[in-house]
Structure 1
Amino acid sequence: MRVYPVIPVVIVVLKVLLVPSNGQGPFAVNTGRYRYTAKRDNLVLSDRKTEIWAEVYYPRNIALTVGKLPLVVFLHGNHATCGRVLSDGTRSDSSCQYTSSGTCPSGFVVAPSHEGYRYVGIPLASYGYVVVSINANRGITCGGGVSEDGGLNLARGRLVLRHLALWSKWNRLGGAPGTLGFDPKRKINFQQVGLMGHSRGGEGMRAALTQYRDAGTPWKRLIGRMLIRAVFEIGPVDGQTSRTLNAYGVASMILLPSCDGDVSDLQGMHVFDRQFLNIGSRPYLPKGTILVNGAIHNYYNTEWQEPDSTSCGGTQQLPSAKGKSVPQQNTLKGTLLPFIRAYVGPGNERFGVRFDPSYPIPSFLRSVSFYARNHLRAPLQIGGEIEAVESFSRATGKSNGGLNNIASNVVVRHASAHYEHDSSVRVAQVSWTGSGSGKYFQIALGTTSSPFLDFSNYQTLSFRVAVYCSGQICSSNINNSPDMDFHIRLVQGTRLSTAIQLSDLATVRRPVDGHSVLETIDLPVALFTGVNLSHITGLRFVFDVTSTGRIDLAHVFRDVEGPRALSFPLTTSRASLQEGPPLVGSPFSRTAKNIIPATSNTFAGARQRGRGVELMFNSSIEFLVTNSFPRLKVGGVTSTDVRLSPDLRSIAFTLSERENAALDPQADAVIEIGKENVWMFGPMNVQ
Structure 2
Amino acid sequence: MRRLLAAALLAPLAATMLVTGTAQAAPAEVPDPLVNGSHEVSEAPYNLGDTAYTPPGFAKPVELAGQVYYPKDATKGPYPLVVFLHGRHSTCMSAPTGGNPSLAWPCTDGRLPIPSHLGYAYAARSLASHGYAVISISANGINAVDNSDAQYGMVARGHLTLKHLDLWRDWREQAGAPISQESVRSFDFGKVGLMGHSRGGEGIVRAVELNSQRPTPYAIKAILPLAPTDFHRRIPLNLPVGTLIPTCDGDLSDLQGVHYYDDARYTDANDIGVHSIFTVIGANHNYFNTNWTPSSGLAGAWDDWRSSNTSSQCHPSQSTRLSEEKQRDAGNGYLGSFFRHYLGGETAFAPLWRGEIGTPASIAATVLVSYHSPSVNNRRLDVNRFAAADSHQVNQLGGQVTLGGTLTTKLCGGTPSTADASCLNTKQSSRQREPHRGYGTLGVAAQRLVWGHISDTLSNTIPLAHQDIRKFAAVRFRAAVDFTDPANPAGVAQDLQVVVTDRAGGKATVPVSQFGKHLDYPHVPPGSADVIPHFLFHQVRVPLSAFTGVDLSRVDSVYLAFNKTPKGAIAVADLTFSD
- The TM-score, its normalising length taken from structure 1, stands at 0.68
Counterparts of 1:542-621 in structure 2, within 5 Å, are 542-559=561-578, 561=579
CA distance in structure 1 between the partners assigned to 2:67 and 2:489 by the alignment? 45
Q: What displacement does 1:43 show?
A: 4.3
Partner of 1:286: 274
Choose the corresponding residue for 2:408, options 403, 408, 411: 411
Aligned partner of residue 225 in structure 2, secondary structure: strand
1:234 aligned onto 2:222: no
Structure 1 residue 61 and structure 2 residue 55: aligned? Answer: no
Query: Could you tell me how far 1:496 is from its partner in structure 2?
Result: 6.8
Contact kept? 1:466, 1:516, Cα under 8 Å: yes
2:291 equivalent to 1:303: yes
Checking the alignment, whether the CA contact within 8 Å between 1:296 and 1:317 is kept in structure 2 is no
Alpha-carbon spacing, 1:432–1:84, altered in 2? closer, same or farther (3 Å): farther
SS in 1 for 2:535: coil
Partner deviation per Cα, 1:585-635 (whole Å, 9 max, x = no partner): xxxxxxxxxxxxxxxxxxxxxxxxxxxxxxxxxxxxxxxxxxxxxxxxxxx
Structure 1 residues 458 and 26: CA distance shift in structure 2, 3 A: closer
| SS of alignment partner, residue 34 of structure 1 | strand
**1:237-248 mapped onto 2 (5 Å cutoff):** 237-238=229-230, 240-241=231-232, 244-248=233-237
Query: In structure 1, what is the equivalent of residue 20 of structure 2?
Result: none
**CA separation of 1:412 and 1:123: change in aligned 2, threshold 3 A:** same
Question: Partners in 1 of 2:387 and 2:367 — Cα distance?
Answer: 29
Paired residue for 2:9? none
What is the alpha-carbon distance in structure 2 between the residues aligned to residue 34 and residue 160 of structure 1? 15
Shift of residue 452 of structure 1? 7.6
1:219-261: CA deviations, max 9, x gaps?
x4xxx452111111210111x24xx433322222111101101
- Would the aligned equivalents of 2:358 and 2:516 in 1 still touch at CA under 8 Å? no
Distance 2:389 2:503 in 1: 23
Closer, same or farther: CA 93–165 of 1 in aligned 2, 3 Å: farther
Report the alpha carbon displacement of residue 59 of structure 1 after superposing the two structures with TM.
2.0
Alignment correspondent of 1:653 = none
Q: Which residue of 2 aligns with 1:522?
A: 541
Q: Confirm or deny that 1:315 pairs with 2:313.
A: yes
The whole-number CA distance in structure 2 between the counterparts of 1:453 and 1:424 is 30
**Residue 460 (structure 1) aligned with residue 474 (structure 2):** yes
2:165 counterpart residue number: 164
CA deviations 1:537-572 (Å, max 9, x no partner) are 43322222233322111111112x4xxxxxxxxxxx
Deviation at 1:363, TM superposition (A): 1.0
Q: Matched residues in 2 for 1:67 and 1:245: separation? A: 34
- 1:251 maps to 2:240: yes
Partner of 1:262: 251
The Cα of 1:529 is off from its aligned counterpart by 4.5
C-alpha contact 1:318 1:327 (8 A) present in aligned 2: no
Deviations 1:136-193 (A, max 9, x none): 001345522433x1x211110111011111111112x22124x446654532211011
SS in 2 for 1:363: coil
Out of 72, 97, 106, the residue aligned to residue 82 of structure 2 is 72
Aligned partner of 2:102: which letter?
A: S
Query: What's 1:387 paired with?
Result: 381
Contact between 2:51 and 2:64, CA under 8 Å: does it hold in 1? no
Q: Summarize the Cα distance change of 1:298–1:27 in structure 2 as closer, same or farther, 3 Å threshold.
A: same
Q: CA 1:159–1:112 in 2, change beyond 3 Å: closer, same or farther?
A: same
Unpaired stretches in structure 1, ≥5 consecutive residues: 1-9, 477-481, 562-687
Cα displacement string for residues 19-45 of structure 1 (whole angstroms, at most 9, x for unaligned residues): 233222212222211112244745434
Q: Counterpart in 2 of 1:95? A: 102
1:327 is matched with which residue? 326
Matched residue, 2:527: none
Change over 3 Å in CA distance of 1:157–1:439 after alignment to 2: same
Tell me, in whole angstroms, the C-alpha distance in 1 between the residues paired with 2:350 and 2:239: 14
2:458 corresponds in structure 1 to 441
Secondary structure class of the residue paired with 1:335: helix
Instruction: Tell me the residue number matched to 2:260.
Output: 271
Partner SS for 1:499: strand
User: Partner residue of 1:565?
Assistant: none
Larger radius of gyration: 1
- Give the equivalent residue in structure 2 for 1:661: none
**What SS class does the counterpart of residue 290 from structure 2 fall into?**
coil
Going from structure 1 to structure 2, the CA distance change for 1:451 and 1:71 (only over 3 Å counts) comes to closer
Partner of 1:510: 521
2:350 match:
352
8 Å CA contact retained: 1:294, 1:318? no
CA distance in 2, matches of 1:374, 1:161: 29
Higher fraction of strand:
1
Q: Residue 398 of structure 1: which of 367, 382, 393 is its match?
A: 393
RMSD of aligned alpha carbons:
3.0
Output the amino acid matched with 2:223: V
CA contact (8 A) 1:258 1:294 kept: yes
CA contact (8 A) 2:45 2:66 kept: yes
**Residue 364 (structure 1) aligned to one of 359, 362, 365:** 362
Residues of 2 paired with 1:51 and 1:359: CA distance?
Answer: 43
Deviates most, 484-493 or 295-304? 484-493
CA distance in 2, matches of 1:451, 1:344: 36
2:486 to 431, 454, 471: 471
Q: How far does residue 507 in structure 1 lie from its aligned partner after superposition?
A: 1.6
Q: What pairs with 1:145-160 in structure 2 (closer than 5 Å)?
A: 145-147=148-150, 149=151, 151-160=152-161
Paired with 2:175 and 2:316, the residues of 1 have a C-alpha distance of 45
Counterpart AA for 1:399: V
Q: CA deviation at 1:281?
A: 3.2
Asked whether the equivalents of residues 302 and 324 of structure 1 are also in contact (C-alpha less than 8 Å), the reply is no
- Count of aligned residue pairs for this structure pair: 508
Distance in 1 separating the partners of 2:469 and 2:192: 38
Counterpart contact for 2:103–2:143, Cα < 8 Å: no
Counterparts in 2 of 1:458 and 1:116: CA distance versus 1, 3 Å: closer
Deviations 1:81-115 (A, max 9, x none): 123589xx8x55641122xxx02566x53221101
- Give the direction of change, closer, same or farther, for the CA distance of 1:281–1:390 in structure 2 (3 Å limit): same
Indicate if the aligned counterparts of 1:190 and 1:227 stay in contact, CA closer than 8 A: yes
Find the counterpart in structure 2 of residue 667 from structure 1: none
1:110 to 90, 97, 113: 113
Change (3 A) 1:77 1:185: closer
Quick one: which amino acid aligns to residue 221 of structure 2? Answer: R
Answer yes or no: is the 8 Å Cα contact 1:256–1:291 preserved in 2. yes
SS of equivalent to 1:327: helix
Give how far 1:402 is off: 7.0
Distance (Å, rounded) in 1 between the aligned partners of 2:280 and 2:87: 19
Instruction: State the Cα distance separating 1:491 from its structure 2 match.
Output: 4.2
Counterpart amino acid of residue 416 in structure 1? G
Q: Encode CA deviations 1:630-684: one digit per residue, 9 max, x unaligned.
A: xxxxxxxxxxxxxxxxxxxxxxxxxxxxxxxxxxxxxxxxxxxxxxxxxxxxxxx
Q: Is the 8 A contact 2:305 2:314 kept in 1?
A: no
Query: 1:336: which partner in 2?
Result: 335
When residues 532 and 72 of structure 1 are mapped into structure 2, their CA distance, relative to the original with a 3 A threshold, is closer
AA in 1 matched with 2:374: P
Change (3 A) 1:539 1:38: same
Structure 1 residue 519 displacement after superposition: 1.6
**Percent of residue pairs bearing the same amino acid type:** 26
2-structure distance, mates of 1:424, 1:44: 32
Letter in 1 for 2:393: K
In the superposition, the TM-score normalised over structure 2's length comes to: 0.80
Closer/same/farther in 2, CA of residues 40 and 56 from structure 1, 3 Å limit: closer
Which residue is equivalent to 1:679? none
Q: Residue 441 of structure 1 aligns to which amino acid in structure 2? A: L
